A = this chain, B = another copy of it.
Amino acid sequence: MNAPAAWLRTVRLPPPTLSDNTADVDRLAAALRKELRAEAVAIDLGLQRELPELLRREGFRVRCSLFRDRGRWMVTGIDPADRPAPALGLAVDLGTTRVALRIVDLADGRSLAESAFDNPQIAIGPDVLSRIHTAAEPEGLNQLTTLIREALNAAVADACRRAGGAAGDIRAVAVAGNTAMTHLLLGFNPRWMIREPYIPAVNRPEVLRAADLGLAAGPYARVLLFPNIGSYFGGDLIAGILFAGLHRRDETAILVDVGTNAEVVLGNRDWLIGCAGAAGPALEGGVSRMGMMAAPGVVDRVRIDPDTLRFALHTIQEKPARGICGSGVIDLAAELFRVGMIDRRGKIVPDRCGDRLRLVEGIRHIVVVPAEHSATGRELTIGQPDLDSLVRSKAAMYTILETLALTVGVELKEVATFYVAGTFGCFIDPRSAIAIGMLPDLPLARFVPLGNSSLEGAALVLTSAQALEEIDRIRDRVTYLELNVNQAFMNRFSAAKFIPHTDLARFPSAGTVGPEKNDSLKEEGLP
Query: Who on chain B is nearest to A190 by CB?
Result: B52
CA distance A69 to B72 in the complex (A): 12
List which A167-213 residues lie within 8 A (CB) of chain B: 186-189, 191-192, 196-206, 208, 212-213
CB neighbours (8 Å) of A187 from chain B are 45, 49
Return 7 A-B CB contacts under 8 Å, by A number.
Answer: A21-B231, A26-B204, A45-B208, A45-B212, A48-B205, A49-B188, A52-B188
CA distance A240 to B199 in the complex (A): 49
CB neighbours (8 Å) of A51 from chain B are 201
Given the contacts A203-B22, A204-B26, A230-B21, A40 and B72 also touching, CB distance less than 8 Å = yes
Decide if A192 touches B49 in the complex (CB within 8 Å).
Answer: no
User: A354 on the interface (CB 8 Å rule)?
Assistant: no
User: A71 on the interface (CB 8 Å rule)?
Assistant: yes
Q: Which of B48, B186, B228 contacts A188 (CB 8 A)?
A: B48
**Residues of A that sit less than 8 Å from B by CB:** 16-18, 21-26, 39-40, 42-43, 45, 48-49, 51-53, 56, 70-72, 186-189, 191-192, 196-206, 208, 212-213, 228, 230-231, 482
CA distance A49 to B189 in the complex (A): 7
Q: Which of B16, B202, B212 contacts A25 (CB 8 A)?
A: B202
CA distance A201 to B26 in the complex (A): 8
Decide if A186 touches B49 in the complex (CB within 8 Å).
Answer: yes
CB neighbours (8 Å) of A482 from chain B are 18
Q: Which of B22, B197, B203 contacts A26 (CB 8 A)?
A: B203
Decide if A199 touches B16 in the complex (CB within 8 Å).
Answer: yes
Decide if B189 touches A52 in the complex (CB within 8 Å).
Answer: yes
Least distance between A284 CB and chain B CB atoms (Å): 22
CB neighbours (8 Å) of A71 from chain B are 39-40
CA distance A482 to B19 in the complex (A): 11
Query: Who on chain B is nearest to A41 by CB?
Result: B206
CA distance A235 to B39 in the complex (A): 23
CB neighbours (8 Å) of A199 from chain B are 16, 21-24, 52
